[in-house]
Amino acid sequence: MKSSYLKIHPWKIIEEDFDPSQVKSSESIFSLGNGAMGQRANFEEAYSGESFQGSYVGGVYYPDKTKVGWWKNGYPEYFAKVLNAPNWIGINFVVNGSILDLNQCSSVSNFRRELDMETGIYTRSFQAQVNPDCKIEVIAKRFLSMDEAALGVIQYQVKALQGSCDLAIESYIEGKITNQDSNWDDPFWNHLSATSSDGLMLLESQTYKTEFDVATYAQTHLINPQGKLISDFDQSTEDGRLSQSKNQFLNEGEQCTVLKFGGYINGLNHAPQTFKTKAKKLVKEALEKGIDQLMEAQRLAWAAIWEISDIEIHGDDAAQQAIRFSIFQLNQTYNGKDPKLNIGPKGFTGEKYGGSTYWDTEAYCLPFYMATKSHQVGRNLLTYRYNQLDKAIENAQKLGFNQGAALYPMVTMNGEECHNEWEITFEEIHRNGAIAFAIYNYEHYTADQTYIPEMGIEVLIAIARFWAQRVNYSDFRNAYVMLGVTGPNEYENNVNNNWYTNYIAQWCLNYAADQQAKIADEHPQRWSELVEKLAWKADEAVLWKSIASQMYFPKHPTQDIFLQQDGFLDKDLQPANTIPPDERPINQHWSWDRILRSPYIKQADVLQGFYLFESHFDKQTLEQHFDFYEPLTVHESSLSPCIHSILAARLDKMQKAYELYLQTSRLDLDDYNKEVEEGLHITSMAGTWMSIVEGFGGLAVVDDQLHINPKLPEAWNAFSFKLNFRGTAIKVEVSKENVRVTHGNPDLIVYCNGNAIAS
Ligand code: BGC
């Protein structure tokens, strides 16, 4: 296991001692979010050292003009960027004439960050010799309200530890901000007005091109050493920057507290004319409640989340901390309250991946949200794609498909494709399969039989139409083949007959045909509407079934193994453990050309298919494939080790399952890939959850019944997980001695290792 500079604790993430070289990593790790907005853990006070400023508003993006060397027809015109939004957290302190800046102070001691995942509150404390006359102590607490989407709270306490201190406080909103990953250094924000009135700072802005309206607001108060609340700050506004200033003298030993309320009011949910009233109401109510009540509300909101989603691991605090970190971050990123939003691979913790939606949502995140929230949340995720179906059809049309065939984008904000590497944009088409599979998965898990007739069937038909046009019949093979694709393993491009893609395409064609027949039979009126709307041709489903039954799958000539793609056996199949350790990860050391020719697999590919369609294969077949592909897999996508861990647990390879679990769960906390400073791997955190619940817990729905097949890793004394299954809250506890399932539904039977278990 890698070592971390962070402390192990079951409920907390803790950093002790100030290390400027870790600032950017910690800014990611200690990020805060509430599903609607989020921010990296930047310091409130000035900091001249290396830092990555980031604060983001859900659903607000800029279409940054695509930058590629060689344009190809069909490329998207832009890459959607989640925007670094105006900074509302900033508070500068000048102490006896010297600016408080941890990069400049002659000494910084007792530095500590603590993210309490049980309450959602982030605390940073330190002592600093700001100048020869004065040493101060700071305790700063911050949270983004889980109850009120637009409210952030800062409580910043300053104490004069040694020497008296003449403090000049300047709390501000800074509108001059940029994205690090901007393609052309375009300005993203147009600030329309900056006003200060009645103590409220309000910066009203609109994004260029997309014209999203966002108001950044903040209000500052001071509690002086005598405990008196002071609100009459001097205001100033200049050039997109608003500030509120106040001086406070502290005798040695005295302290004062700055209270700052702020955040973003998003035009997606509020009319711009109401921004000011809304902001005033937010700060008024926050002040009336007071910091203690606000913190208590935050604790209660998190308690409600943990009540239905906590996972306990006994005897292994590193694993415990990691799974809670995953559940915490997934909830900070997306809470299912707003169907317009989705889950970016980095959530609100960085700019990479543009905050956009990937297949990660359907393939990885849906199971977590379905099982730990109301089923409506899973339905919202599916509805998001339904609402973008027209764009997916347009996207396919641009590539030459017709008759209502849809190709969902690899990366999107509003349904339009924004990825522009041809081998992914045009070829990594398996994403369509994950979207269809998610529809099946949702109905299978929740038993909600209304989604498919109302919406899902249109998505399934459009996807099946795509596959039917994307294959071609090969006279040579007497079968349908799929040429020029990229499978989940992006270390192979433009291959023919990627097994995973062919398999999921075959499944989609059959599933769509079956669902079409079911709807025609059970919902004749809806079906007759659809016949017209979709220009349905009577023999379409017959063609789909026929293609599915004649799909080609590459196989090993002498062993019972499906090959990842045509020609895979031509490679020099040396296991990944023969790669010198100083050449890993290969994507940071090898040329792309060498990677493409190598046999190394970036992430689960054939095994991704075995994971999704486990019931189609027997255990021996799974084992043969696992033993063939796992040694070649370098797991250089965060989405990979979790899938292999689940399969290893199925195969009783518990040591391997546990090693892969640690790799997936502590990826960010231990910074395995040396990139945590760019942001966290939010979507793979859902994979961490799956590794426990589906891997070690063996959760599966079979024939409409809930099954578990628990296996306890040797390093653990016991573990438990919680689930919402069709409206019933269930707790599963697994110890060395027994398995206990608790729920209050007399009609629900849970099967453990195939036997009905009493609750
Ligand atoms: C993976 C993709 C994934 C993307 C975003 C890439 O590295 O290969 O499968 O969708 O990251 O998480």
Residue nearest (by alpha carbon) to ligand 1 atom 1: 637
Closest CA to 397 of 480, 465, 481, 471: 465
Q: Round to whole Å and give the CA distance between 667 and 603.
A: 15
Catalytic hit among 44, 458, 490, 540: 490
**How much distance in Å is there from the Cα of 711 to the middle of ligand 1?**
29
Check pLDDT > 50 for residue 406.
Answer: yes
> For ligand 1, what atom is nearest to the CA of residue 681?
12
H helices of 523-572, where?
Answer: 524-533, 540-549
CA distance 708 to 752: 5
Residue whose CA is at the smallest distance from ligand 1 atom 9:
488
Tell me the whole-structure pTM to 2 decimals: 0.97
Q: What is the pLDDT of residue 3?
A: 59
Tell me what the mean pLDDT of segment 540-553 comes to: 98
CA of 685 to the centre of ligand 1 (A): 13
State both tokens at 390.
């027209």
Ligand 1 atom with least separation from CA of 602:
8
* Cα gap 98→101, rounded to integer Å: 9
Structure confidence at residue 34 (pLDDT): 98
Question: Does 74 have pLDDT greater than 90?
Answer: no
> Which SS3 state, helix, strand or coil, does residue 623 take?
helix
Pocket test for ligand 1, best of 357, 358, 668 (most atoms within 8 A of CB): 358
Map residue 480 onto helix, strand or coil.
Answer: strand
Question: What tens digit of pLDDT does each residue of 689-735 get?
Answer: 999 999 999 999 999 999 999 999 999 999 999 999 999 999 999 99
11 class by beta-carbon count within 10 Å (0-12 exposed, 13-18 middle, 19+ buried): middle
With bands split at pLDDT 50, 70 and 90, how would you rate the model's confidence at 1? very low
Mean pLDDT of 561-567: 98
Quick check: is 490 catalytic? yes
Tokens linked to 381: 């995720």
User: What confidence score (pLDDT) does residue 759 get?
Assistant: 72
* Strand pairing category for 705-708 and 750-752: parallel
Per-residue pLDDT reduced to its tens digit, 438-464: 999 999 999 999 999 999 999 999 999
**Closest residue to atom 11 of ligand 1, CA basis:** 637
Give the model's pLDDT for residue 569. 98
| Ligand 1 atom at shortest distance from the alpha carbon of 410 | 10
Taking CA atoms only, the protein residue closest to ligand 1 atom 8 is 637
Instruction: Point out which residues pair with 312 in neighbouring strands.
Output: 720
- For the domain spanning 38-309, the CATH number is 2.70.98.40
Q: Is the pLDDT of residue 392 over 60?
A: yes
The helix (run of H) or strand (run of E) holding residue 330 is: helix 317-333
Q: Are 244 and 196 contacting, i.e. CB atoms less than 8 angstroms apart?
A: yes
Average pLDDT over residues 316-325: 96
Atom of ligand 1 nearest to the CA of 359: 10
- Around ligand 1, the residues with Cβ closer than 6 Å are 345, 353, 358-360, 488, 490, 603, 637, 639, 683
Q: Which of 428, 639, 673 to mutate to test the pocket of ligand 1 (most atoms within 8 A of CB)?
A: 639
Can you give the residue ranges of every domain in the chain?
38-309
Q: Is the pLDDT of residue 4 over 90?
A: no
- Closest-CA residue, ligand 1 atom 12, reads 345
